[in-house]
Structure 1
């Protein structure tokens, strides 16, 4: 029984689904925050790949939206570090969606090779984003 099922069986509110959004653009962070304001998801934002890895290691996330091109540590290297962390601890892999304006086949392939489970092309629109999240999380 997972946390949501346990909470429901006790008549409690289940904990919110947590999403880590690794995005260095403040305007994109604000846009994604607006898109997801009334969604019921708990959002954490990382402004670079190193911060995303640190937040992931310290938290518990159901989904990561990982911008590919970020300062300090890019999204693909951050994804590799997250996958190493999960593997070293015997954790089930959390879905990681690569997010990029570069939507060429080779970008998608590089993302999958790094350990991403899916790919979202920018610009991101609200309805497709909500559908993507619901499909990914099985809502």
Structure 2
């Protein structure tokens, strides 16, 4: 399974990487929304975790851009927003951008695993090793 994580904060990238280190996935990072769109084109991930607050292009705009390109291709990758700001009204603007789900920070390994398992392609190797404790 191929996963793209768009996250501008290096520490958050390290934390995310540690949370999924036992998963059998191919993980790539993008440091901003522009990189996320470019990496989506090259990598064709099965799932995207998209930070909402990023420089250059935020997660909402990156998601809207990906959704526009997908309309031309007839595809749709699941996008899970990552946000530290779960204020009233935030979820509406996040979903309006084309995001499918969102997780609030600080992230929990079990929540990430739940999203990954929900979107694991049928032809992919099992993502979680047997007996992995979440």
TM-score by length of 2: 0.86
* Bigger share in helix: 1
Structure 1 segments unaligned to the other structure (5+ residues): 1-16
Select the structure with the greater relative contact order (CA < 8 A; seq sep ≥ 6): 2
C-alpha displacement at 1:124, in angstroms?
A: 0.0
In 2, Cα distance between equivalents of 1:90 and 1:129: 26
Which one of the candidate residues 21, 24, 27 is aligned to 2:8? 24
Question: Which structure has the bigger radius of gyration?
Answer: 1
What's the Cα RMSD here?
1.4
* Aligned 1:46-65 pairs, distance under 5 A: 46-65=30-49
In 2, Cα distance between equivalents of 1:62 and 1:83: 14
Which one of the candidate residues 30, 40, 53 is aligned to 1:69? 53
Moved more, 104-113 or 27-36: 104-113
3-state SS in 2 of match to 1:44? strand
Count of aligned residue pairs for this structure pair? 122
TM-score by length of 1: 0.83
In 2, Cα distance between equivalents of 1:95 and 1:75: 14
